[in-house]
């Protein structure tokens, strides 16, 4: 795996793209079949206000065509903030000596995951720093414990890169998506930002997804950390990365995350070297949606609530919610004495984020069915490109919303309990979504499964 940085720079160096060129690419993009990297470069070079607005509008249309109105929700669970790397932008960097470090015991991991289940989450992303004392065996033990001792339905992992043998063991533990960010695809910048530790090896990190897929993973998550280098270069490189995976393995990246650099206690970087403003960020999200329509575009709580609302209309399909970026953050009174990886900007609860999705015309989803139904990897990519995923996404979002409404009244879900007004909002969204199903056979099947939920059955899906 290699990124042709010179070619990407060449694609971006020609100044603003012509209005006609931009609208020609937009017309093709609206077919929701994806774009070539050269076409994505044209969109990133768009400067005309009307052209940029058309890009954002097309991205929203493609998102709804491929996935419908559903927006998937998840939470990160930090296992350890011990790390041997020297990443200048990160609070976990090994040179940060004056802050509290913690690696959760397995029992503590279970308590954290159980707390998220009580809030209503069904999927969790386990995150850890790079330290051999808490390596593969520890991560696998955490994954298995979460499955065995909590009601969490799918566990994803964001962890340091490993070899193929390590990935095989991780996959056997039941991990759904393996996620790792390249941070920056610009090799010179990468070297400056990672002065020591295993992470300094650019090529080893760049090849991580090839090794994961070789080992049997079907779904992987990639992404840059925006702010380290020119955002246009990073977005095109992320697209090139996903295209490489598609060409070699028949599946695009399952998710592409676009975190922007945030302040981190003990970080050595200060202000972002290449700050990305909100308008540039919106364009980045839209271009990813139009170029890789099958990918989930993930927006974290690094971004403020208002901007996350806007991004729902221009291509975002997954949001984290109620996030804590320190080990023990969900059960230790916020755990603020333990070092966070970075500061967050959206502190709303899961229920509040779900309500905002409904208010924006979307449908909040806690679905985990694809990972357990074989709609993964190349199969998932093929179904999305053919337009076959929307009906599954829509139906399963209805079912998980119904389950959330029912369980928010249970004492076990005290953290998720919503006021009657919010429950009414959710029920209204559910009813409207049911009415939107045009296929009578599918509507009948959804209604039957809703009755199963009303009768106490759980984890019902298509």
pLDDT at 163: 98
pLDDT at 412: 52
pLDDT digits (tens, 9 = 90+) for 142-165: 999 999 999 999 999 999 999 999
Q: Which residues of the chain have pLDDT under 50?
A: none
pLDDT at 279: 98
Spatial contact of 140 and 173, defined as CB atoms under 8 Å apart: yes
Cβ-defined contacts of 242-246 (< 8 Å, 24+):
242/292, 242/295, 243/37, 243/292, 244/1, 245/209, 245/210, 245/213, 245/220, 246/381
Q: Which two tokens stand for residue 259?
A: 């975190």
Q: Which two tokens stand for residue 186?
A: 């610009």
pLDDT at 339: 63
Question: Residue 177's beta-bridge partner residues?
Answer: 219
pLDDT at 268: 85
pLDDT at 266: 80
Look-up of token digits 């060129």 = 21
């Amino acid at each position: 795996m290699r990124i042709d940085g010179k070619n990407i720079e060449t694609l971006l160096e020609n100044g603003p793209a012509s209005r006609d060129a931009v609208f020609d690419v937009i017309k093709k993009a609206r077919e929701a079949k994806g774009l070539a990297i050269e076409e994505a470069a044209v969109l990133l070079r768009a400067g005309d206000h009307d052209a940029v607005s058309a890009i954002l509008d097309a991205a929203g249309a493609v998102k709804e065509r491929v996935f419908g109105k559903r927006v998937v929700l998840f939470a990160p669970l930090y296992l350890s903030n011990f790390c041997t790397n020297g990443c200048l932008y990160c609070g976990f960097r090994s040179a940060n000596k004056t802050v509290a470090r913690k690696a959760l015991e397995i029992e503590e991991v279970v308590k954290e995951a159980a707390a998220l289940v009580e809030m209503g989450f069904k999927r969790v992303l386990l995150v850890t720093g790079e330290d051999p004392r808490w390596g593969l065996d520890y991560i696998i033990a955490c994954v298995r414990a979460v499955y065995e001792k909590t009601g969490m339905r799918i566990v994803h992992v964001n962890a340091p890169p490993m070899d193929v043998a390590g990935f095989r063991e991780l996959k056997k533990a039941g991990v759904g998506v393996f996620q790792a960010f390249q941070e920056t695809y610009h090799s010179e910048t990468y070297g400056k930002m990672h002065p020591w530790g295993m992470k300094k090896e650019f090529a080893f990190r760049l090849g991580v997804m090839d090794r994961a897929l070789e080992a049997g993973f079907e779904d992987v998550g990639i992404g840059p950390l925006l702010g380290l280098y020119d955002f246009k270069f990073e977005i095109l490189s992320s697209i090139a990365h996903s295209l490489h995976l598609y060409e070699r393995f028949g599946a695009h990246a399952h998710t592409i995350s676009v975190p922007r650099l945030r302040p981190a206690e003990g970080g050595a970087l200060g202000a972002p070297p290449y700050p990305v403003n909100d308008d540039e960020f919106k364009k980045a999200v839209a271009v990813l949606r139009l170029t890789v329509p099958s990918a989930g575009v993930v927006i974290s709580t690094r971004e403020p609530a208002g901007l996350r609302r806007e991004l729902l209309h221009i291509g975002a399909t997954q949001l984290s919610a109620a996030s804590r970026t320190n080990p023990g953050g969900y059960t230790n009174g916020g755990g603020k004495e333990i070092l966070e990886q970075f500061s967050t900007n959206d502190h709303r609860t899961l229920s509040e984020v779900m309500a905002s999705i409904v208010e924006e015309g979307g449908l909040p989803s806690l679905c985990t069915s694809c990972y357990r139904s074989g709609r993964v990897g190349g199969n998932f990519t093929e179904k999305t490109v053919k337009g076959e995923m929307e009906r599954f996404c829509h139906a399963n979002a209805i079912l998980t919303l119904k389950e959330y409404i029912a369980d928010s009244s249970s004492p076990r879900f005290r953290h998720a309990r919503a006021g009657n007004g919010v429950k009414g909002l959710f029920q209204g969204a559910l009813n409207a979504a049911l009415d939107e199903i045009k296929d009578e056979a599918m509507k009948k099947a959804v209604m039957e499964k809703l009755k199963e939920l009303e009768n106490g059955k759980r984890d019902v899906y298509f």
